[in-house]
Structure 1
Amino acid sequence: MKAGMQVGQTATFNCEVTSEMFAQFEGAIVHPVYSTVSMVYHMELTSRKLILPYLEEHEEGMGSAVSLKHIAPATDRNRIQVTATISKLEKNLVFTEVQTFNETRIIGKGTVVQIILPKDEITRKIENCRT
């Protein structure tokens, strides 16, 4: 990992809620609101933005853990902002605190942990899953 990553660094992601982000199962919309699945995805995406500038050519990040509380709904066309802040660096683990907002309030908060590994080690782990 390249030098320079520090606790307190932040990244953001902005989007607008669309019907593809609605809570749904097996193609059927359950609620026409921003789904927890979409929130997890956006939290991981935003946290990933923090590690990308520091990855060496032979490295990649992998999600290791996600914990979140979905506090309030966001409806169609609500603007969403996700902010991730590095809260802890421990060897090759990067911990982020993440918050998700709509235009008026916080709608989710949680943590994302990523592990930085050599690409060849990741390839071996994936191959081991196939046997």
Structure 2
Amino acid sequence: MKDVPIGSTGSFTLLVGPQHLASQFKDAILPPVFATPMMVLAMENAALNAVRAFLEPGESAVGTKVEVEHLAATPAGHWVRAEAEVVGVEGRRLRFRVAAYDEAEQVGAGTHERMVVDLDRLESRLASKRLATPVLPPTRE
């Protein structure tokens, strides 16, 4: 990984469709508004876009922590823009301030962390895990 400057920014824009709504994505009883997990997805993509240029070939940055507030509802057909700013770099750990906006207002805010990983090493660990871990049946509660 190249040095990542504090203050580097990235964004990600998403047109809210039916597949992004809480009522479609999680439970039909929920109102037809942009789902929080979809907001987190947009924020994570913005953070990755903020550091993509600093990654070496064979590297990526995977999410490790998210702390966000969903501040306002967004209906289908509206655009959501997520923004991320690098606020800390500690070795391979990257910290971000994240926010999301629709056309009318800020809809989310928080912090996010990502870890720079070597993709070959990660795939090797995953391959070992697939071989070593039995498939467990779902539990009923």
TM-score by length of 1: 0.89
Alignment partners' CA distance in 2, 1:128 and 1:108: 38
Q: Can you list the C-alpha shifts for 1:26-54, whole angstroms capped at 9, x where unaligned?
A: 67473211000110111111111112111
CA distance in 2 between partners of 1:25 and 1:120 (Å): 32
SS in 2 for 1:65: strand
Amino acid at match of 2:68: L
Residue by residue, what CA displacement relative to the aligned partner does 1:69-100 show, whole Å, maximum 9, x if unpaired? 11110012122111100010110011111000
Q: 1:47 to 1:121 in 2, by over 3 A?
A: same
| 1:10 equivalent in alignment to 2:9 | yes
Q: Secondary structure at the match of 2:33?
A: strand
Match of 2:103 in 1: 103
Consecutive unaligned residues in structure 2, runs of 5 or more: 133-141
Aligned-residue CA RMSD in angstroms? 1.7
CA distance 1:57–1:29, shift in 2 (3 Å): farther
Q: What is the letter of the counterpart of residue 119 of structure 1?
A: L
Contact kept? 1:11, 1:84, Cα under 8 Å:
yes
Aligned residue-pair number = 130
- Structure 1 contact 70–107 (Cα < 8 Å) conserved: yes
More displaced 10-residue stretch of structure 1: 21-30 or 116-125:
21-30
Report which of the two structures shows the higher radius of gyration computed on alpha carbons.
2
Mean CA deviation greater in 25-34 or 112-121: 25-34
Instruction: Give the number of the structure whose residues are more often strand, by fraction.
Output: 1
Listed as ranges, the gaps of 5+ residues in structure 1 are: none
Task: Give the Å deviation of 1:128.
Answer: 3.9
Secondary structure, in 3 states, of the residue corresponding to 1:40?
A: helix
| Worse-superposed segment, 25-34 or 84-93 | 25-34
Distance 1:38 1:54 in 2: 26
Q: Does 1:22 align with 2:2?
A: no
Look up the match of 1:51. 51
Contact 2:98 2:109 in 1 (8 A): yes
Identical counterparts, % of pairs: 26
Q: Which moved more, 1:15-24 or 1:80-89?
A: 15-24
Separation of aligned partners in 2, 1:63 and 1:95: 10
User: In structure 2, the residue corresponding to 1:33 is in which secondary structure?
Assistant: coil
